[in-house]
């Protein structure tokens, strides 16, 4: 292994974080887990925050473990996280409080207040982003309307991964793929949407330099190098938005200049479904369908839509565990597989599923309120959730084909959701398309691939995707029984209007 090169991905998700090593030998890469740790929101009174300092301690522990394991084989490290959330620094780079969690309720009902300052059409024209209450723009507006003292003294705005890159290097930059999730960014000019922010009375002097994935920030600063042992490693920005990194690892063959004939679903707590587009699609139809234009690795646009994802199943399992019913993921899926198909359906993106006190009860209530049979067993509840997700994929697929003007032949599913084989087959059946599932560790993989391209280990994104095809097995699912899904889709469409 002496000739192997190692790139470290710090991969933070909403419920857990990890440090993963991408070990490159010849034309293959393998991922090795170094350190895992829990993550989640912390309630402070009635507010929900991220534990910034706790996460930083875990990251340093993981990097120290990697340094001990790989030594001077470590070339670089990069951090990816979820989007939209941010921290603020004051004079002398003082951290101004723990960052808010995107599920904090302070942005509830914010849209009318925002649209009174700038119409919905104008916000979309400047940002090309789908409207979700927790977008950074609305978080900042909520702070302003609460007369937050933090905005008064803030001097620097850093997204969550930017904060950790600053802690590692002392460099304050805003990485482009995460910036593109804020609704404070213009994807057509590739600059901050300063006119919009000024119109809404939000500070623009706190916004920093936007830099692209692959940017090398240099070595770790002394305190971080001493704490981790990574004295020789560089810090290289991946696509710091986890979906940008996950899409980087989709094992699709490139067709330069051609319309996309594949789409991706980055499947985890959220399902992010979209295509790679050479340019942003900022049209009335895009706005009406509430799609988003986010930045991708290599200057592409990720035209996509957020779908609730496996949050529905995770929350059901959490509630049942609280009630003393410990059900493993495999057992839940098995019970769902044994339940009667296509009985009751939900709209996965209905507001009632955003943060309910009890997800199983919220699913039953939705079915009852829409005049459907109420799923009583755990298996029936999970089957309802998974089938509804698959039908949501079908609806979003039809919209993607409208927006791009081309037929999508293949759906690539990456991320942890590939391990749910029942959902993958449902997606193939519901959409009547070929599904290619894998790799499951796409986010960490995309992170290390960008570092490897930046460091010269790989020549291009196309070569990086070829390395993925060489290194990881994928599973293919073909449609089995489309008829019943057509009937179910007709019912589903009436539920989501």
Cβ atoms of residues 365 and 352 within 8 Å:
yes
**Do 5-236 and 250-438+459-497 show the same overall fold?**
yes
Region 296-315 average pLDDT? 94
Instruction: Tell me which residue of 178, 238, 210 sits closest to 450, measured CA to CA.
Output: 238
Which pLDDT does position 26 carry in this prediction?
83
pLDDT over 70 (residue 256): no
Domain 250-438+459-497's class?
alpha beta
Which pLDDT does position 260 carry in this prediction?
74
CATH H-level superfamily of 5-236:
ATPase, nucleotide binding domain (3.30.420.40)
**Would you list the domain boundaries of the chain?**
5-236, 250-438+459-497
CA 85 to chain centre: 12
Instruction: Tell me which residue of 246, 286, 221 sits closest to 441, measured CA to CA.
Output: 246
pLDDT over 70 (residue 129): yes
Could you give the CA distance from residue 48 to residue 342 in angstroms, rounded to a whole number? 37
Quick one: pLDDT band at residue 14, thresholds 50, 70, 90?
A: confident
Could you give the CA distance from residue 369 to residue 362 in angstroms, rounded to a whole number? 10
Mean pLDDT in the chain? 95
pLDDT over 70 (residue 112): yes
Which residues does 106 contact at the CB level (< 8 Å), separation at least 6?
Answer: 47, 100, 139, 142, 143, 146
Which pLDDT does position 27 carry in this prediction?
86
Could you give the CA distance from residue 404 to residue 275 in angstroms, rounded to a whole number? 9
Largest CA distance in the chain: 64
Q: Is 242 a known active-site residue? A: yes
pLDDT over 70 (residue 259): no
Residue with tokens 């996965």: 348
Could you give the CA distance from residue 396 to residue 5 in angstroms, rounded to a whole number? 40
Which residues does 329 contact at the CB level (< 8 Å), separation at least 6?
Answer: 317, 419, 420
pLDDT tens digit sequence for 281-293: 999 999 999 999 9
pLDDT tens digit sequence for 159-216: 999 999 999 999 999 999 999 999 999 999 999 999 999 999 999 999 999 999 999 9
Could you give the CA distance from residue 236 to residue 10 in angstroms, rounded to a whole number? 11
Region 443-470 average pLDDT? 96
Find the catalytic residue in 104, 162, 234, 242.
242
Helix (H) and strand (E) counts for the chain? 19, 21
Which pLDDT does position 3 carry in this prediction?
76
Cβ atoms of residues 252 and 262 within 8 Å:
yes
Going 309 to 315 to 320 to 321, the CA torsion angle's sign is positive
Which pLDDT does position 1 carry in this prediction?
42
Instruction: Tell me which residue of 409, 414, 444, 460 sits closest to 299, measured CA to CA.
Output: 460
pLDDT tens digit sequence for 191-201: 999 999 999 99
Cβ atoms of residues 159 and 64 within 8 Å:
no
Which pLDDT does position 258 carry in this prediction?
66
Angle (CA) 153 154 155, round 5°:
115
Residue with tokens 């359906």: 345
Task: Give percent above pLDDT 90 in the chain.
Answer: 95
Which residues does 266 contact at the CB level (< 8 Å), separation at least 6?
Answer: 242, 243, 246, 247, 272, 273, 414, 415, 442, 443
Quick one: pLDDT band at residue 257, thresholds 50, 70, 90?
A: low
* Burial group, residue 356, by CB count within 10 angstroms (0-12, 13-18, 19+): middle
Task: Give percent above pLDDT 70 in the chain.
Answer: 98
């Amino acid at each position: 292994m002496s000739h192997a090169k190692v790139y470290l991905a710090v991969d933070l998700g909403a419920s857990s974080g990890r440090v993963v090593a991408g070990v490159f030998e010849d034309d293959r890469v393998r991922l090795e887990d170094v350190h895992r740790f829990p993550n989640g929101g912390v309630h402070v009174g009635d507010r929900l925050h991220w534990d910034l300092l706790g996460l930083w301690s875990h990251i340093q522990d993981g990097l120290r473990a990697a340094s001990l394991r790989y030594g001077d084989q470590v070339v670089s490290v990069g951090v990816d996280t979820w989007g939209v959330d941010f921290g603020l620094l004051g004079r002398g780079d003082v951290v101004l409080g723990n960052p808010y969690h995107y599920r904090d309720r302070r942005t509830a009902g914010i849209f009318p207040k925002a649209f009174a300052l700038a119409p919905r059409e104008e916000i979309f024209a400047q940002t090309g982003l789908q409207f979700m209450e927790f977008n950074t723009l609305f978080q900042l507006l909520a702070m302003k309307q609460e007369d937050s003292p933090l905005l008064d003294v803030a001097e620097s705005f850093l997204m969550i991964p930017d904060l950790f890159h600053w802690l590692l290097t002392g460099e304050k930059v805003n990485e482009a793929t995460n910036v593109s999730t804020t609704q404070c960014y213009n994807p057509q000019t590739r600059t901050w949407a300063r006119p919009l922010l000024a119109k809404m009375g939000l500070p623009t002097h706190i916004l920093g330099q936007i830099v692209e994935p692959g940017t090398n920030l240099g070595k770790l600063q002394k305190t971080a190098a001493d704490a981790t042992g990574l004295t020789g490693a560089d810090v290289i920005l991946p696509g710091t938005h986890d979906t940008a990194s996950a899409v980087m690892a989709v094992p699709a063959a490139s067709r330069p200049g051609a319309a996309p004939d594949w789409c991706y679903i980055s499947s985890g707590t959220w399902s992010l479904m979209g295509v790679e587009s050479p340019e942003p699609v900022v049209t009335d139809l895009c706005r009406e369908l509430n799609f988003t234009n986010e930045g991708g690795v290599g200057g592409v646009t990720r035209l996509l839509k957020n779908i609730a994802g496996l949050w529905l199943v995770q929350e059901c399992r959490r509630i049942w565990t609280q009630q003393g019913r410990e059900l493993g993921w495999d057992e839940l899926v098995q019970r769902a597989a044994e339940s009667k198909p296509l009985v009751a359906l939900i709209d996965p993106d209905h507001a009632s599923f955003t943060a309910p006190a009890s997800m199983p009860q919220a699913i039953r209530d939705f079915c009852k309120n829409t005049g459907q049979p109420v799923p009583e067993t755990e298996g029936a509840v999970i089957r309802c959730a998974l089938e509804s997700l698959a039908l949501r994929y079908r609806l979003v697929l039809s919209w993607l084909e409208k927006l791009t003007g081309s037929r999508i032949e293949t759906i690539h599913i990456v991320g942890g959701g590939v391990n749910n084989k029942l959902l993958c087959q449902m997606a193939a059946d519901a959409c009547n398309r070929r599904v290619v599932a894998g790799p499951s560790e796409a986010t960490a993989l995309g992170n290390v691939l960008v570092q490897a391209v930046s460091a010269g280990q790989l020549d291009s994104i196309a070569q990086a995707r070829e390395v993925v095809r060489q290194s990881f097995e994928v599973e293919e699912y073909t449609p089995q029984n489309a008829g019943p899904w057509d009937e179910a889709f007709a019912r589903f469409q009436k539920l989501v209007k």
